């Protein structure tokens, strides 16, 4: 009782009671599965209006003005503390300066002075009173190829890199400096500059925004008023008027507006505790630790005395876990998938007849079935309940995939746990798995189909890693887990090894999981998986789809040729298309797409996980929204030392070698 009293005393003595501002009722800020910060939104009640592209595989926000050629500008990120928005500007050779200004300017936003323009034309030069910068020829060629400017990179077309076309201390870009340069035909793309240096990625523009009226005129009332703990700043707009912005004070998160989310402490708040409370907490910890040590000692001695009795007790507890706790856990949050009875599924699969087996895995078989009541074809996965790992995979798959909804994920229809059976029910994928088509001897999977599979798989991973409430690491991405429906749309399945990740990029899951050949070296050595290891597997699959080769091939001389090293050797020799599947033509647009997919595959499978792209960066390149990355000619090799603990990373030294 004393211990409980001390804990309650500690809890109630700490500061608490955080108040959050209510969101604006008249401004709809949701687009699909994400919410944009105020004052942005998608309805007429929002001060700064955006468009919601909810029909895309991943819903995105775009600027409301669409260019004459149909080009749209997607919002990449919001920065409430800097009052800016980062917008994607895809490379284009058919976008005039006037069109770019119209698309990137609005009533309450404009291009900031941190954005530099890349102008293109026969004798294009930077204005004399604008700061210019030099671009490497390789970057220029990559931008022109991405924009598909025919042979523009070989006909002497000049590209002017204007680091800043703004006056000193100005906030917004002075477009007239770019419009006065009549020798420049169009705006190729843009980039964000910090102290004269470009960011790592081209194809983005930094937009500053404001609300109408000065801080004094708005006061503390109205839609544009600042929330408590926020600072109001007047802004000189490009139209020579004065607007204002609200920014939360240092140490607080939020959009800063009373009509939005207001300002609030971060999720993890540092609380100052006096020395007296620290000493009291230390005494309580020592006291509890002593009790724990004594209890463990008594428990171990009791186990040694009553070995047989303990075994029977543990057996009974395991039965309770399977029959009661397990079902309760499965029922939580599974509002979509339904629970089937064993007799329903036995009738649907003709009593699990061997003639209906679609495939066999490490923890069970998959059967084809038809449910008459639902008038629906099914795929039923029968998991071995006697396997502890099989039970863990069964629970993991039901808990994780039941909360996911995406067109490129296999849909879980339901599950069954009864009559000593563990069954998972999915929609039937009529074209089976990807590996059966990649390595078929009597047919060839067309490149157009392969390319759509690549984009579909990338969209599924982008959803799992960045667009869900809690990140999901799949941990077993390979062609046999990529299913194809009747129209050859890719569906990522088999979430038995998947795990949810808390805040931060790294997973705290220990133990090796996945399939050899698709797991990166650090994951094998350190026994740790993360979103970066999923990206590695994605890269290997891209190379496998393009080359038609397995991740590792053993020659007659018993030499193991690994796919990543094999493709990298062709890349270093300037002939990466020689690594493509010989059954494909590899000419014209197909050849360009093959090259793009293989280079992105090498990028994702980089030995140093710190140099791998995020799945969003990889998808931007695959969708031709960003230039190809520049990789070393020889494949780097990562050398890892032994990890200092189960969750720590090992020492890594990068070197370049040419052997396999």
Place of tokens 């040729």: 561
CA dist., res. 90 & res. 66, Å (int): 13
Give the largest Cα separation in the chain, rounded: 93
Look up 419 and say whether it is catalytic.
Answer: no
CA dist., res. 464 & res. 156, Å (int): 44
CA distances from 426 to 381, 400, 475, 492, 518 (A): 8, 14, 20, 12, 25
241-277 residues labelled b (16+ CB within 10 A) or e (exposed): ebbbbbbbeeebebbbbbbbbbbbeeeeeeeeeeeee
CA count, 13 A, side-chain hemisphere, 427: 16
The burial of 652, by beta-carbon neighbours within 10 Å (0-12 exposed, 13-18 middle, 19 or more buried), is given as middle
Both structure tokens of 91: 């490379």
381 labelled ligand-binding? yes
Alpha-carbon 577 to chain mean position: 28
Both structure tokens of 368: 């084809």
Contact 213, 244 (CB under 8 A): yes
First to last CA, the chain: 65
Beta strand spans in 112-252 (E): 115-121, 131-133, 158-164, 186-194, 197-198, 204-209, 211-212, 230-236, 242-248
What contacts 71, CB < 8 A, 6 or more positions away? 90, 92, 95, 103
Place of tokens 């998959």: 366
Q: What is the dihedral of CA 208, 211, 213, 219, to 10 degrees?
A: -120
Q: Concatenated DSSP letters for 583-617? A: TS---HHHHHHHHHHHHHHHHHT-SSGGGSPPHHH
Contact 181, 122 (CB under 8 A): no
Number of Cβ within 10 Å of residue 616's Cβ equals 15
CA dist., res. 131 & res. 162, Å (int): 6
Note the helical H segments in 402-446: 434-438
- Closest by CA to 554, choosing from 517, 514, 512, is 517
CA dist., res. 391 & res. 414, Å (int): 16
**Which residues are 115's β-sheet partners?**
192
**Which of 255, 476, 520, 569 does the annotation list as catalytic?**
476
Contact 202, 90 (CB under 8 A): no
CA dist., res. 303 & res. 300, Å (int): 5
Residue ranges for the binding site? Answer: 381
Q: Which residues form the catalytic set?
A: 476
Binding residues for ATP: 381
């Amino acid at each position: 009782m004393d211990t409980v009293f001390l804990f309650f005393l500690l809890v109630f003595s700490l500061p608490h009671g955080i108040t959050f501002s209510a969101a604006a009722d008249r401004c709809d800020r949701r687009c699909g599965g994400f919410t944009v910060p105020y004052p942005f939104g998608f309805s007429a009640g929002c001060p700064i209006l955006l468009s919601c592209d909810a029909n895309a595989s991943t819903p995105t926000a775009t600027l409301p003005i669409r260019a004459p050629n149909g080009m749209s500008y997607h919002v990449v990120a919001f920065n409430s503390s800097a009052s800016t928005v980062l917008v994607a500007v895809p490379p284009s050779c058919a976008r005039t300066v006037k069109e770019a200004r119209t698309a990137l300017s609005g009533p309450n936003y404009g291009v900031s002075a941190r954005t530099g323009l890349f102008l293109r034309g026969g004798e294009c030069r930077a204005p004399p009173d604008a700061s210019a910068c030099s671009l490497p020829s390789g970057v220029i060629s990559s931008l022109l190829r991405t924009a598909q400017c025919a042979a523009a990179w070989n006909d002497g077309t000049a590209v002017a890199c204007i680091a800043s076309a703004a006056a000193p201390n100005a906030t917004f870009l002075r477009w007239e400096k770019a419009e006065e340069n009549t020798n420049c035909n169009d705006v190729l793309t843009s980039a964000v500059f910090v102290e004269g240096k470009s960011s790592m990625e081209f194809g983005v523009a930094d937009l500053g925004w404001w609300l109408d009226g000065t801080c004094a005129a708005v006061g503390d009332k109205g839609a544009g008023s600042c929330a408590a703990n926020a600072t109001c700043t007047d802004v000189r707009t490009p139209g020579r008027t004065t607007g204002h912005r609200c920014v939360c004070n240092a140490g607080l998160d939020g959009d800063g507006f009373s009509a939005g989310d207001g300002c609030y402490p971060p999720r993890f708040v540092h609380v100052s505790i006096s020395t007296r409370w620290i000493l009291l907490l230390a005494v309580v910890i020592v006291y509890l630790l002593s009790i724990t040590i004594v209890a463990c000692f008594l428990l171990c001695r009791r186990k040694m005395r009553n070995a047989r009795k303990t075994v029977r007790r543990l057996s009974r507890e395991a039965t309770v876990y399977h029959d009661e706790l397990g079902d309760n856990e499965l029922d939580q949050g599974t509002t979509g998938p339904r629970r089937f009875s064993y007799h329903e599924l036995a009738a649907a699969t003709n009593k699990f007849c061997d003639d209906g087996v679609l495939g066999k895995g490490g923890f069970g078989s998959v059967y084809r079935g038809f449910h008459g009541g639902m008038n629906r074809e099914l795929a039923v996965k029968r998991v071995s309940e006697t396997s502890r790992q099989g039970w863990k995979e069964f629970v993991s798959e039901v808990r994780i995939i039941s909360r996911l909804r995406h067109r490129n994920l296999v849909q879980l229809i339901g599950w069954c746990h009864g009559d000593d059976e563990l069954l998972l029910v999915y929609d039937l994928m009529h074209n089976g798995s990807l590996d059966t088509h990649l390595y078929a001897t009597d047919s060839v999977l067309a490149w157009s189909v392969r390319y759509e599979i690549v984009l579909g798989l990338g969209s599924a991973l982008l959803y799992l890693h960045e667009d869900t409430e809690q990140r999901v690491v799949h941990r077993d991405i390979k062609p046999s887990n990529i299913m194809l429906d009747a129209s050859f749309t890719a569906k990522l399945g088999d979430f038995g090894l998947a795990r949810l990740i808390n805040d931060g990029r790294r997973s705290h899951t220990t133990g090796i999981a996945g399939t050899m050949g698709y797991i990166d070296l650090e994951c094998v050595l350190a026994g740790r998986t993360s979103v970066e290891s999923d990206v590695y597997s994605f890269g290997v699959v891209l190379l496998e789809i393009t080359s038609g080769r397995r991740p590792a091939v053993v020659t007659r001389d018993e030499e193991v040729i690994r796919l990543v090293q094999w493709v990298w050797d062709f890349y270093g020799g300037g002939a990466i298309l020689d690594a493509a599947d010989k059954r494909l033509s590899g000419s014209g647009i197909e050849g360009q797409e093959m090259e793009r997919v293989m280079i992105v595959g090498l990028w994702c499978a980089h030995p140093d996980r710190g140099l791998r792209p995020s799945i969003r960066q990889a998808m931007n390149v695959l969708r031709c929204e960003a230039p190809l990355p520049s990789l070393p000619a020889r494949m780097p090799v990562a050398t890892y030392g032994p990890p200092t603990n189960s969750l720590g990373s090992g020492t890594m030294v990068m070197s370049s070698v040419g052997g396999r």
